[in-house]
Chains A and B, each alone.
Chain A
Amino acid sequence: MKKTIKLISIAMLSAAVAVSASLSVSAAGINNAEQRILDELRTTVDMEGNMKTLPVQYINQAENYMNTIEISDADADTIISKIEDTKVFLTNTQAVKYDALTNAQVDEFIVRCNDIVGVINLKLLYDKSTRTVTVVDIDGNVVFTASNVGYNGNPYNDNPRQHSSQPGDDTSKPGGDTSKISPIDDNPIKNTGLDFNIPGVMSVAGTGVFLVSAAGVCLIKRRKSAVSEDV
Chain B
Amino acid sequence: MILPIVFCILIYLICAAVILPSTSSYLSMANIFFSDREKSFTKEHRNIFVPVEDTSETPENPDKPDIVKASSFVFPSYEDQFGELIIEDCQIKADLYFGDSWYVLGNGVGIYNGSAIPGYGRTILIAGHNNTYFNGLKHAKEGQIVKIRTNYGNYQYEITGTKITDNEDRSAYDLGKNEENLIMYTCYPFDTLGLTNLRAFIYAKYVSGPVIDKNS
Contact = CB atoms under 8 A, between A and B. Distances in A.
Interface of A: 26-31, 56-58, 60-61, 64, 67-68, 141-143, 145, 184, 187-197, 200-202, 204-206, 209-210, 213-214, 216-217
Interface of B: 4, 7-8, 11-12, 15-16, 20, 24, 27-28, 30-31, 34-35, 37, 69-71, 73-75, 77-79, 98-101, 105-106, 112-117, 122, 125, 127-132, 134, 167-168, 170, 172-173, 175-176, 185-187, 192, 194-196, 199, 212-216
A60 B214 CA distance: 13
Given A67-B70, A206-B12, A214-B8, 5 more contacts: A26-B71, A188-B114, A188-B175, A196-B35, A205-B12
Contacts of A67: 70, 75, 214
Nearest to B128: A192
A142 B101 CA distance: 11
A68 B75 contact: yes
B131 A195 contact: yes
Contacts of B185: 189, 192
Contacts of A194: 24, 27-28, 31, 129, 131, 194-195
Contact of B8 (A30, A200, A205, A210): A210
Contacts of B213: 29
Given A193-B187, A193-B195, A196-B35, A30 B215 contact: yes
A189 B128 CA distance: 11
Contacts of B101: 145
A42 to B, nearest CB: 10
24 contacts: A29-B214, A30-B70, A58-B114, A61-B114, A64-B113, A145-B78, A145-B101, A188-B175, A189-B168, A190-B112, A191-B187, A192-B130, A193-B28, A193-B192, A193-B194, A194-B27, A195-B35, A195-B105, A195-B106, A196-B34, A200-B34, A202-B16, A209-B11, A210-B12
